Chains A and B, each alone.
Chain A
Amino acid sequence: MKKILVVDDSASIRHVVSIALRGAGYEVIDACDGKDALNKLNGEKINLIISDVNMPNMDGISFLKEVKKHPRYKFTPVIMLTTEAGRDKMEEGRMAGAKAWVVKPFQPPQMLDAVAKLCLP
């Protein structure tokens, strides 16, 4: 089963996204910020990362830079969550290797479609 890591400081977003992903046939690990995510990953194989940009402790872009250093996650696709206002961060994220963006607020089907384009269950 394909495994997806969901990183967001909002518990409700994590919850909704996780339910949707599990319903579509993915396994989900969730984390509340970059630091938490790195701890939970612990070298485990995953197929896709969904990460918010603005988070306490370690923000999305720093997390991305960090996680991409690990040989295991070098090729792992990343979907970044952003808001309409956060578009200026996109270039920075792009440089760090994030190619897919989903703008908040989004509906679960939208998120599932974006996930499917990069990694079908």
Chain B
Amino acid sequence: MAESPLAPRGATRIWGHLWMILGVFVVVFPVYYVFIASTHSTQTILRPPLPLLPGPEGVANYRDAFSGGIDRIGGVSLWRLLGNTALIAVGIAVGKIAISMASAYAIVFFRFPLRMAAFWLIFITLMLPVEVRIQPTYKVMVDLGLIDTYAGLILPLIASATATLLFRQFFMTIPDELLEAARVDGAGPWRFFRDILWPLSLTNVAAIFVIQFIYGWTQYLWPLLVTNSNEMNTIVIALRKMISFADAETPWNLVMVTSVLAILPPLLVVVLMQRWFVKGLVETEK
């Protein structure tokens, strides 16, 4: 590396660091800012500029938020909001993986009439995001009685053309000999899946899980449409309700705590599962 004519010399390298530090600062600052705000009192928050170091109210703010503070402004406990959001995020991620793997398995390892038609039917949903069919989809939800239910929040979002495509692509790289050998040994579709395919798919499953968990956690338009009751709010929707009805009485310190808690779980998942996340993102989308 050292003798390569490409190895950047001292000054270039230092400039690289300086620019990266500036870039990282801009990228991280908004999250840092809300974290700092969550450790100050409402009075301090409302009197700019905000100090740039954590304040003394941190523990008190978080304790208050978890023990009834959010109920007073949002009408529902912080635990419930986090629970709802986690349930939806995990439900969507697991649901997508399950039905996409099943469809990809059917399309790759079986031959049946209308196989490609089924594939295209799934594939074309790429072109029908929720945003372009808001009103009629809402009507379906009402007709099926799915408003304010977890099923309503999860089911419509688990169809996934991208996950199906990814699993299909991956299954097609499985050497034919593996399946032949399995069939010679008398393995049926379920045995082959459980003993051979599933263990081989784990990295892809992890990658898709991270991406879809983030997708589920950060949903906005859908929960906004299909929930009316505060009890069914996700933390993101609850937060938006808090700030849109803000007045002189709004306890901003608790709003900031809620923001931090809305960001923290997906942030931890992305950072801790970074390896799978980056692989999944860069490889699926290309």
Q: Are these two chains actual partners, yes or no?
A: no
Enumerate chain B interface residues (CB-CB to A < 8 A): none
